[in-house]
Amino acid sequence: MEDNKLNIVYIDEEHDQLADFQADAELSGLFEEIYLLEPKSNLDEMVTEILELKVDAVISDFALNEAKVINYNGDQLLNAIQDIRHNFPCFLRTSYEDDAVSNSFDVNRVYVKEESMELHSESNLFKRVAAQISAYHRRFEAIKLEHINLRHKLAKEGLNSQETDRLIELDDLIESLLSAETKTPTEVKKLALSKFDALMNSTDKLINDIEANLKGNSSDA
Amino acid sequence: MLKVREIIPKRNFVDKKGHYREYRFDLRKDFNGACGYCDDNDEFQDKSTFHIDHFAPKSKFPELELEYENLVYSCRFCNVAKSNKWISNDAEVSHNGVKGFIDPCDDNYDEHIYRDFKGAINAKSSIGVYLVKELNLGLIRHEYLWKARKLRAQKLKLEDILSRLPKNSKARVDVLEAIVGLVREYETYFSWACR
């Protein structure tokens, strides 16, 4: 049976906060793996470590430098992740509501920590995380299916220019969701779908014709 | 109908290492510098963007994290798309005949997907449908990079033929014209791939 439980990672420099988060997340029953990470001094290394975990969502504390010297904050970390994987589910936890309002945060990913010390105090956050992961997967699936259908139509009967543009748009979206920084340029895709074939076919024919002639000449000799 | 991979990758014996990233050199060699799943070649891309995939995911089967037999040289797109997906609770059961993954080193891999004459990757079984969908094998980049490799192979073949043709022959002129045409295409499209 395919396992659909969710994996998440939480980043915080304070051990107590990491432990509290883990306890609450486990109690929510929504997650299979809950990875806990302390921030590394190098942002790129941090991003690589997070992405290698292959989690479904990333949650980071805003202030990552209260216990050690870190020259980026949680918002910058999440931006770096979403630069590579567009629209990837990311959440920023902050204790200070003013931070969330005064900074230019993406309000959709900010979550102000609950003051309550009771267990389940973060259940709203976990419900939001699970709902956003689910919405992200549904959207990704819909894009993939439309892409596959247009690919089938292209192979069977060809596409009109509007459909070709839509195929390339969907292709761009999929690449941006997986690895935006190494995405294939849109113009290259247009050319790849239309321009190579005639040249490659005529070159194949030329190679075959000349090879046949060369063989014929050598057997004549 | 063409095979997706021209050469089937084969894992050779490798001494156990302390971290899976230390297998990168061996894996690259055994997978012929290409992604095991889609055959995109790393020579047209930044090699650092190639990943090491754990065929049976390491989050589900941590005991296999350092097993060379469980590692796949993988492009970033296939690796990220595959993520932690696995259809069973057993590392040995990678598919159920309808859904799931096939080890790229298994000869059987090519029984499920094929490449058409334009280079696009398509399914030829239920598992193939799963592979194409879950790994996004229909992405245009896979077709583009295959065409880029084919253009280069054609250029090399023509250069070889040219060296064997008598000077001042009509065939030699045809070959030269074809090489010029290929080089033009090569420069136009490879400038992105080689960056």
H-only helix segments in B37-169: 76-82, 126-134, 140-164
Distance CA B106, CA A163 (A): 37
Interface-testing mutation among B76, B94, B122, B136, with chain A (most A C-beta atoms within 10 A) = B136
Q: Which residues in chain B are contacts of A171 at CB distance < 8 A? A: 139-141
Place of tokens 């993939």: A144
Q: For residue B110, which of B88, B135, B127, B134 has the smallest C-alpha distance?
A: B127
CB of B169 within 8 Å of a chain A CB? The answer is no
pLDDT by residue (tens digit) across B85-125?
Answer: 999 999 999 999 999 999 999 989 999 999 998 899 999 99
Q: For B125, how many CA atoms within 13 A lie in the half-sphere containing its CB?
A: 18
What global pTM score does this model have? 0.88
- Average pLDDT, stretch B147-167? 87
pLDDT by residue (tens digit) across B124-149?
Answer: 999 999 999 999 999 999 998 898 88
pLDDT at B5 over 80: yes
Distance CA B32, CA B30 (A): 5
Percent of chain B beyond pLDDT 90?
62
Distance CA A101, CA A94 (A): 11
Task: Please judge whether B143 and A195 are an interchain contact, meaning their C-beta atoms are less than 8 angstroms apart.
Answer: no
Contacts of residue A64, Cβ cutoff 8 Å, sequence gap at least 6? A11, A12, A13, A39, A70, A72, A73, A74, A77
Distance CA A61, CA A175 (A): 28
| Res A1: pLDDT | 39
Size of interface A-B (CB pairs under 8 A): 118
| Helix, strand, or coil (residue B51) | strand
Quote the minimal CA–CA distance from A171 to chain B in Å. 6
pLDDT at B194 over 60: no
Using the 8-state DSSP alphabet, how is residue B33 labeled? T
**A47, A21 Cβ separation under 8 angstroms:** no
Which residue on chain A is closest to B170 by alpha carbon? A210
| Res B105: pLDDT | 97
DSSP string, A150-172: HHHHHHHT---HHHHHHHHHHHH
Task: Give me the average pLDDT of each 10-residue run along chain A (221 residues).
Answer: 75 92 92 94 93 94 83 93 95 74 69 60 83 95 97 92 96 96 88 77 86 75 51
